[in-house]
């Protein structure tokens, strides 16, 4: 394990711990707590894909080996910026849904957040098929380093999944007591 793996592992454990504290303290209002836990996961996801895409579009390989600024045409960089901004907007929308509609117990909100988790699970394909980010059970591309950072990917996916599991009982309770929320 390299230094960066250790640092990112500790960073990820801190966020897992914070999500656990929020869940423990938020037992009285599970859906509100779920919204905050989703916000943590979205923050970690934003640091991984959208922010990294924006960074790599902005820098040259002299500053970061993955930098694309001097390697690709402006058209490609423009699409990298667009993808990064759209991904950030989607994560912000997810947090808004979690903090509003999910908190009100609207079933569609839970389903939408599950869909985001499933679609965002492409990060798992990345780790297992494209680039391992240092994950020890994945292959390294021929002639390339294993990298680092799989812990943060695992953290955002795990925290998001935990949030949905944690909020599901409160959602079911509201539905059982007659509140159906809009869209059901």
pLDDT digits (tens, 9 = 90+) for 74-112: 999 999 999 999 999 999 999 999 999 999 999 999 999
| CB atoms inside a 10 Å sphere around CB 119 | 9
CB 87 within 8 A of CB 50: yes
Return the pLDDT at 177. Answer: 64
pLDDT, averaged across the chain: 89
Distance (Å, whole) CA 79 – CA 47: 18
CA separation, residue 78 to residues 51, 57, 75, 107, 149 (Å): 14, 8, 5, 37, 26
The single-letter DSSP state of residue 70 is T
Return the pLDDT at 2. Answer: 74
Q: Which has the higher per-residue pLDDT, 172 or 176? A: 172
Return the pLDDT at 129. Answer: 82
Please list, in sequence order, all residues whose beta carbon lies within 8 angstroms of the beta carbon of residue 141, skipping any fewer than 6 positions away: 130, 131
Return the pLDDT at 29. Answer: 93
| Tokens found for residue 123 | 């990060």
When pLDDT is averaged across residues 123-134 and rounded to a whole number, the result is 83
When pLDDT is averaged across residues 16-42 and rounded to a whole number, the result is 94
% residues pLDDT > 70 (the chain): 90
DSSP 4-36: HHHHHHHHHHHHHHHHHHHHHHTGGGHHHHHHH
Residue 175 has pLDDT above 70, yes or no: no
Residue 1 has pLDDT above 70, yes or no: no
Domain spans, the chain: 3-169
When pLDDT is averaged across residues 132-145 and rounded to a whole number, the result is 74
The model carries a pTM of 0.86
What is the C-alpha end-to-end distance of the chain, expressed in Å?
48
């Amino acid at each position: 394990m390299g230094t960066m793996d250790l640092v990112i592992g500790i960073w990820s454990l801190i966020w897992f711990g914070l999500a656990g504290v929020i869940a423990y303290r938020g037992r009285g209002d599970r859906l509100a707590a779920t919204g905050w836990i989703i916000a943590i996961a979205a923050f970690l996801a934003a640091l991984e894909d959208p922010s990294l895409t924006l960074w790599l579009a902005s820098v040259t390989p002299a500053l970061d080996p993955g930098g694309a600024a001097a390697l690709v045409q402006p058209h490609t960089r423009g699409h990298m910026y667009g993808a990064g901004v759209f991904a950030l907007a989607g994560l912000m929308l997810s947090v808004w849904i979690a903090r509003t509609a999910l908190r009100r117990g609207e079933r569609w909100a839970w389903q939408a957040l599950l869909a985001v988790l499933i679609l965002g699970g492409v990060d798992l394909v990345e780790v297992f098929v494209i680039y391992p980010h240092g994950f020890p059970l994945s292959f390294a591309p021929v002639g390339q380093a294993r990298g680092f950072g799989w812990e943060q990917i695992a953290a955002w996916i795990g925290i998001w999944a935990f949030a949905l599991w944690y909020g599901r009982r409160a959602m079911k309770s509201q539905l059982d007591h007659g509140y159906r929320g809009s869209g059901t």
